[in-house]
Homo-oligomer: A and B are copies of this chain.
Amino acid sequence: MLFAIKGNICCSEDIEHIRCVENAYLVCEDGVCAGVFRALPERYAALPVTDFGDKLIVPGMTDLHLHAPQFAFRGLGMDMELMDWLKTYAFPEEAKYRELAYADRAYTQFADAMRRSATTRAAIFATLHVPATELLMEKMEDSGLISYVGKVNMDRNGPEYLCETSAQASLEATERWICETQSKFRRTRPILTPRFIPSCTDELMRGLRRLVEKYHLPVQSHLSENYSEIEFVQSLCRDSKFYGDAYDRYGLFGGDHPCIMAHCVHSGEAEIKLMKKNGVFAAHSPLSNANLSSGAAPVGKLFREFVNVGLASDIAAGETENLFRSIAAAIRASKLRWRLVDQKIYPLTVDQAFYIATVGGGKFFGKVGLFEPGYEFDAIVIDDSTITHPQELGLHERLERALYIADERHLCAKYVAGSRLF
C-alpha cells in the first residue's frame, strides 16, 4: 500500500484556514499519509501515481451521528417536534428491524448511500435488535467506511413494540453483541448506545457503565436537543444539575472513555465546561435541529472554546447523508443564531465548517481529517467540472462552491485508510 495521488490538494491548515496546493502529490504509506509534495521526493520516484488532473483532493468527512434504520424515511414527516416525531415516525420504523429481511433490504440501501457519499467515517445508531445490528455492521464493513455502530439500549418510555423487557435483558443482549462483534470486523466496531436518558432506567445506565469499564468501549447518545426532552430528563434525574451532569453521574459522559453527544442545542455554560473537561464530542446536526424545530446550537461557541465538535447528518431528522449539505446548513444556522439570538457568538466561516466536518469529527477516530504525515489516508476526489462557471476561479473558491453545491455525483474517487472504495 505505497502509492500517490495527484491533483489539487485542499486541507485545513489550522482551525481558521483551508490551504490549497495546486497540482501536488499526496503520498500513502500503509494506509497513512506520508505528506503533500509539490514534486515527488526521490525516495518516492518509483511510486504508482493516480493522476486526478484538475480535480480537488480533500480529506474524507466524518459523520459523527446518524441513525441507519431511519434512512428509510429521510425527508419525511418533519412537521413535528422531537418527542412526537419519535413516536410517530422513528419508533414505528425502527420496530421493523426485528425482521431481518426488512433490515437487509433497508441497510443495503443505507450502506450503499454511505459508500457513495463524501463520508469516510461514521458513528451510527442501529436499533435495539441484535441480529439486525450485526447485519448492519456487516454491511458497513463491506461498504469500506470505518465506523462505529451501536445496538441501541432502551428499557423505558418506549412503545411496547420497541422497548426492551428489562435492564437485565438489555444488558445481556448488549454484552452478547459486544462479544460477537468487537473483534469480528476490520473497519467496524461496537459503540455503547443508550438512546437517551428518557429511554434508559438507572439500572440500565449503571450496567452500561460496567460494560464501558469491562470492554473499554466508547459511548454515544443524545444531549440537550429539545426543550420538552430536557424537561423530561430533569424530571427523571432530579439530583442532576443539568442534562450532561445526569449522564456524568452514570459515568457515561466521557472522561475515561470516548463519548459523542448529539445536538447540544441548548447546552449551557456548565454543560459546555463539563464537555470540554471530559473531552466529549458534540455532534452538531444543523439540518436536524432546524427540521425538528429544536433550535440552533451554539456551535461557534463550542468550536472557539475548543470543545470537540464534529458534524452530523443525523439521518433521518436530517434529510440527507450528504455532509456538504450539513456544512452549508451549519454555516446558515450559525448565522441565523447570530442574527436572531446572540451577536456575541460569531457565525461559522466556510473554512471553520470544513474543519469541523473533516478534522473536528475525524479526531474521534484518531489521526483523521488532515493530510499531515501520520494521519490516516482518508480522501475524496471532487470533480467539479460540471459546476459551470464563466470566469477563472481559484482553488479555494472551487472548494467553497463545491461545499455549497456538490453531492455524490461530483465524487470520482474515495479512499479510506488507504483503500480505494471507488
Interface residue ranges, A against B (CB under 8 Å): 72-79, 93, 96, 102, 105-106, 109, 112-113, 287, 290-296, 319-320, 328-329, 331-333, 335-341, 347, 349-350, 387-391, 393, 397, 400-405, 407, 409
Please measure, in the bound complex, the distance between the C-alpha atom of A93 and the C-alpha atom of B335, giving whole angstroms. 24
A333 to B78, CA, bound (A): 13
Q: How many angstroms from the CA of A146 to the CA of B388 in the assembled complex? A: 23
- Which of A320, A339, A341 has the largest number of chain B CB atoms within 10 A? A339
CA gap between A292 and B405 in the complex, in Å: 17
- Identical chains in the assembly: 2
- List chain B residues, Cβ under 8 A from A106: 390-391
CB nearest neighbor in B for A391: B72
Known: A319-B404, A390-B105. A397 touches B76 (CB 8 A): yes
Minimum CB–CB distance for A304 against chain B, Å? 15
- Of all chain B residues, the one with the shortest Cβ separation from A227 is B339
Contact of A405 among B75, B337, B338 (CB under 8 A): B75
| Cβ-neighbour of A337 out of B74, B294, B340, B409 (below 8 A) | B340
Would you mind naming 22 contact pairs between A and B with Cβ atoms under 8 Å apart? A72-B389, A72-B391, A73-B391, A74-B404, A75-B401, A75-B404, A75-B405, A77-B400, A93-B391, A96-B391, A105-B390, A109-B388, A109-B390, A287-B332, A291-B335, A293-B347, A294-B339, A296-B340, A319-B405, A340-B340, A407-B407, A409-B409
Q: A91 to nearest B CB, angstroms? A: 14
